[in-house]
């Protein structure tokens, strides 16, 4: 009986030892698994950190390139703006150059006429020369869009004419331009000088004539 108890006790101790060994082995395995997981996590974290660093470096590189491109574009725009401003200034400054070139020939003709004006028996040639100069100058003005206002005999138009005086004239409709004191001119589609004119008025009434006669 006692022998059986000893055997059972030994078996129980052996079983406990086996369980303890199994538990220890399981604990060791769990610890190994934890270490492996930790190592893998560290590797993954390191990889992610390296990838993140690479992305940051790439973004910094792209940012530097974009900044450099932007600075170049800004510089190019400033240069373009400066050139455009200079061109506009020169365009305004020398806008009259073609017209000046055209009237230089008229100026030369007038100078030549003045040189020969005192020559004897030169009246007709001088007159003819001045007529040619006048015609040339008229053509130059017309080529630039300048046109004389045709006023005499036309109905009075406040947009084209400036009436200096009115007078009644028999057989002429009232508000008709009788004479031009100073010609007017149109530049393209703008009146740059109104024609100063004398305009016909309403004829005096019979009563007025009787009063004047009295």
* Percent of the chain surpassing pLDDT 90: 45
Question: 175 and 150 in contact (C-beta within 8 Å)?
Answer: no
In DSSP notation, 161-173 reads EEEEEEE--TTS-
Provide the pLDDT for residue 212: 47
In DSSP notation, 143-159 reads HTTEEE---TTSBP-TT
Q: Is the pLDDT of residue 211 over 70?
A: no
Task: Name the band, by pLDDT with cuts 50, 70 and 90, for residue 146.
Answer: very high
Q: Is the pLDDT of residue 174 over 80?
A: yes
Fold category of 148-207 in CATH? Nucleotide Exchange Factor Grpe; Chain A, domain 2 (2.30.22)
Provide the pLDDT for residue 2: 59
At residue 156, the 3 state secondary structure works out as: coil
**155 strand-pairing partners:** 176
Q: Which residue has the tokens 């600075």?
A: 71
How far is it, in rounded angstroms, from Cα 83 to Cα 149?
Answer: 41
When pLDDT is averaged across residues 109-119 and rounded to a whole number, the result is 82
- The torsion defined by the Cα of 55, 56, 61 and 65, in degrees rounded to 10, comes to 100
When pLDDT is averaged across residues 194-203 and rounded to a whole number, the result is 93
Of 107, 197, 120, give the one whose Cα is nearest residue 151.
197
Q: Is the pLDDT of residue 210 over 70?
A: no
pLDDT digits (tens, 9 = 90+) for 27-50: 777 777 777 777 777 777 777 778
């Amino acid at each position: 009986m006692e022998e059986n108890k000893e055997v059972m006790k030994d078996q129980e101790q052996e079983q406990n030892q086996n369980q303890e060994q199994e538990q220890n082995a399981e604990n060791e395995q769990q610890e190994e698994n934890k270490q492996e997981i930790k190592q893998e996590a560290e590797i993954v974290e390191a990889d992610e950190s390296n990838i993140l660093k690479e992305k940051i470096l790439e973004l910094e590189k792209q940012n530097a390139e974009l900044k450099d491109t932007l600075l170049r574009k800004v510089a190019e725009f400033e240069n373009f703006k400066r050139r455009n401003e200079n061109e506009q200034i020169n365009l305004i400054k020398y806008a009259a150059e073609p017209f000046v070139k055209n009237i230089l020939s008229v100026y030369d003709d007038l100078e030549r006429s003045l040189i020969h004006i005192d020559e004897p028996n030169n009246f007709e040639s001088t007159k003819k020369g001045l007529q040619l100069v006048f015609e040339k100058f008229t053509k130059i003005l017309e080529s630039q869009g300048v046109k004389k206002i045709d006023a005499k005999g036309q109905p009075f138009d406040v947009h084209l004419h400036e009436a200096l005086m009115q007078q009644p004239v028999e057989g002429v409709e009232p508000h008709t331009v009788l004479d031009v004191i100073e010609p007017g001119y149109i530049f393209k589609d703008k009146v740059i000088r109104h024609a100063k004119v004398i305009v016909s008025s309403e004829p005096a009434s019979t009563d007025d004539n009787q009063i004047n006669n009295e």
